[in-house]
Structure 1
Amino acid sequence: MKKYEALFIIEPDAASERFDKVKNEITDNIERVQGVVSECEELGQRELCYAIRHHKEGFYYLVKFTIEPNEINKVRDRYELSKDILRFLITSVE
C-alpha cells in the first residue's frame, strides 16, 4: 500500500450546510476500495485566486490515506463526479 495526501476545495455552500455529509463521502470513497484514512484536517475557508464554478471562496480539507496504487484512479473518478467538490489534488507521499 502506498501513502497519499489529497487536498479538496469544497463548495462554500456545501461546507456550511452539508459539510459532514461531504466529509463522509470523501472518506467513504477511499474506504470503499480498501483504503485506510489516517488523518483528516479542516484548513478553513479561503479566498480563491480565480472563480471556480462562480465561487470566489472555498473550504479547504486535507486527507492523508494509504491505498493500493491500482485503486487510486477509482477514487479519483468518484471525486470528479461530485458537485460539492470544486477542485482536488491527490499526491503520493514518499
Structure 2
Amino acid sequence: MRKYETLLLFSPELTTENRKEILDNLGAIVAREQGQTLMLDEWGSRELAYAVNKFTRGHYVRLEYAGPSPLIAELERNIRITDGILKFVTVKLDENFQAGEE
C-alpha cells in the first residue's frame, strides 16, 4: 500500500452538509477500493490567490489515505464529476506504507 494525500478546493456556495456528503462519498470509494482513510483535515474557507470559476474564496479540505495505486484513478475520476469541487491535487507521501503505522 502507498500513502497519499489529496487537497480539495470546494466551492464557497456549498453548505457544510453538502461538503460532508461529498467527503463521505469519497471515503466510501477509498474503502471500496481496499484503501484506508487516515486523516481528514478541514482548513476552512480562505481567500484565493486568483479567481477560480469566478470565485475568490474557497473551502479547503486535506484527505490523507493509504491504498493501492488503482484507488487514485477511481477517486480522481469521481472528484472530476462531482459538482462543487473546483480544484484538487493528489500527492504520494510514502511508497511502502503499512496499515497501523503513522
Whether TM exceeds 0.5 here: the answer is: yes
Q: Which runs of 5+ in 2 are unaligned?
A: 95-102
Q: Which runs of 5+ in 1 are unaligned?
A: none
RMSD: 1.4
The structure 1 segments of at least 4 consecutive aligned residues displaced by more than 6 Å after TM superposition are none
Rg larger in 1 or in 2?
Answer: 2
CA contact (8 A) 1:12 1:57 kept: yes
The 3-state SS of whatever aligns with 2:82 is coil
Aligned to 2:45: 45
Aligned to 1:14: 14
Amino acid at match of 1:6: T
Identity, % of aligned positions: 24
Q: Which digits, 9 at most, give the CA deviation of each residue in 1:46-84, with x for residues without a partner?
A: 011111112111000011100101331111111111111
Matched, 1:36 2:36: yes
CA contact (8 A) 1:14 1:22 kept: no
Structure with greater helix share of residues: 1
In the TM superposition, residue 92 of structure 1 has moved relative to its aligned partner by 0.3
The 3-state SS of whatever aligns with 2:48 is strand
Structure-2-length-normalised TM-score: 0.83
Matched, 1:89 2:89: yes
The 3-state SS of whatever aligns with 1:6 is strand
Structure-1-length-normalised TM-score: 0.89
